[in-house]
Amino acid sequence: MDYEADTSRTDLMTITRFVLNEQSKYPESRGDFTILLSHVVLGCKFVCSSVNKAGLAKLLGLAGDTNIQGEEQKKLDVLSNEVFVKALISSGRTCLLVSEEVEEAIFVPPSHRGKYIVVFDPLDGSSNIDCGVSIGTIFGIYMVEDETKVSLEDALQPGNKLLAAGYCMYGSSCTFVLSTGNGVNGFTLDPSLGEFILTHPNIKIPRKGKIYSVNEGNAKNWDEPTTKYVQKCKFPQDGLPPKSLRYIGSMVADIHRTLLYGGIFMYPADIKSPNGKLRLLYEVFPMSYLMEQAGGQAFTGKQRALDLVPKQLHERSPIFLGSYDDIEQMKELYAASKADGA
């Protein structure tokens, strides 16, 4: 028996161990963030288990309600939202929550208050639930300025103030991707242990990618830079082969692939939706933060996405996320179109 190999196989870097290691680099830390994160992870494990047995437990289909975006709520959306709200409040480390499923911000009762603000989409990509496509939870974590005076303004911080962000993808495996501002790491749930194990240390997005990802059904309404970019992907003039198109329509899955394989993910503005579709606080900001932490870029068509200052909780923004060079090319097209006065 190879005892050495066996020992390394059992020396598992669980997400808790990983975060505690990170915490030990800050001697002044009291462990609040670690506790909060363990509650986020618990919520993800609960949702993962619900997604896995959704068909059996009759959790598929509509819950019969419409959320604030005017979309039909699925049973799993409702359940996931409840799970995260309860897990976050019971952590005793949050003061303000913003959920995609709830119109107003949720102020945590004073008895349970802590210093963190969590913005989240409990189950993104829910129109894909019934056909078994990967879906996920997206979250971002901020700190409140003054714990004794929590206000709505605290939830409207720019993305560059994020302390941490991540997502959990419920797919062929359950993958938790996290950044606390020190690179990006991916963990895979080992169902036999019930633990997330570090499987993708220090994720770096390739500098340039071979894939573009966009809902081409909206092409007739795109602006000129987006149209030109996609044309270049299909008919490159530089002698390179055309890029491949991959679009799942589930942001977590599309971003996960983009982080690992490189390329560009776009949800641009168009004539019908001048602000695009994706929500700034709990879709655009967390994914932009992860992208930059992995060495990529996030651009709105006008500016660095993380520098946007939100005015409303459920505001939308156009977004281009991906490999450094690919986003650079998109920025050049926008700059040229601005120079032309388009």
Under 8 Å between Cβ of 76 and 60 = yes
Distance CA 3, CA 7 (A): 6
CB of 267 to ligand AFP, least distance (A): 6
Between residues 71 and 328, which has the closer beta carbon with respect to ligand AFP? 71
| Interface residue with ligand AFP, options 113, 257, 277, 316 (CB under 6 A) | 277
Residue 213 binds ligand AFP (CB under 6 A): no
Buried b or exposed e, range 96-108, using 16+ CB within 10 angstroms: bbbbbbbeebbeb
Between residues 33 and 285, which has the closer beta carbon with respect to ligand AFP? 285
Which segment (12-20, 45-53, 123-131, 164-172) binds ligand AFP by CB under 6 A? Answer: 123-131
Tell me the per-residue interface mask from 36 to 75 with ligand AFP, x by CB under 6 A, - otherwise. Answer: -----------------------------------x----
Closest CA to 167 of 144, 152, 187: 187
Distance CA 247, CA 264 (A): 11
Residue type, 291: M
Between residues 144 and 281, which has the closer beta carbon with respect to ligand AFP? 281
**Angle CA 164–170–174, to nearest 5:** 75
**Angle CA 178–179–185, to nearest 5:** 60
Residue 240, both tokens: 């390179």
Distance CA 88, CA 96 (A): 10
CB of 252 to ligand AFP, least distance (A): 7
Distance CA 14, CA 188 (A): 9
> Bridge partners of 97?
106, 118
| Interface residue with ligand AFP, options 22, 101, 124, 154 (CB under 6 A) | 124
| Interface residue with ligand AFP, options 249, 271, 307, 332 (CB under 6 A) | 249
Residue 250 binds ligand AFP (CB under 6 A): yes
Which segment (17-25, 41-49, 140-148, 243-251) binds ligand AFP by CB under 6 A? Answer: 243-251
CB of 294 to ligand AFP, least distance (A): 18
Residue 286 binds ligand AFP (CB under 6 A): no
Residue 127 binds ligand AFP (CB under 6 A): yes
CB atoms under 10 Å from CB of 289, counted, come to 25
Between residues 152 and 271, which has the closer beta carbon with respect to ligand AFP? 271
Residue 215 binds ligand AFP (CB under 6 A): yes
> Count of residues for the chain?
342
Closest CA to 103 of 134, 79, 135, 71: 71
Between residues 93 and 256, which has the closer beta carbon with respect to ligand AFP? 256
CB of 237 to ligand AFP, least distance (A): 28
CB of 93 to ligand AFP, least distance (A): 27
Going from the C-alpha of 148 to that of each of 94, 114, 163, the distances in angstroms are 12, 10, 20
Q: What one-character DSSP code corresponds to residue 165? A: E
Under 8 Å between Cβ of 291 and 262 = no
Which segment (10-18, 125-133, 181-189, 319-327) binds ligand AFP by CB under 6 A? Answer: 125-133
| Interface residue with ligand AFP, options 114, 122, 125, 262 (CB under 6 A) | 125
135-143 sheet: strands from edge to edge = 106-107, 94-99, 113-124, 135-143, 164-170, 174-179, 185-190, 195-200
> Bridge partners of 124?
136
Residue 266 binds ligand AFP (CB under 6 A): no
| Interface residue with ligand AFP, options 44, 233, 251, 305 (CB under 6 A) | 251
Residue type, 309: V
Q: What are the residues binding ligand AFP (CB under 6 A)?
A: 71, 124-128, 215, 249-251, 254, 277-278
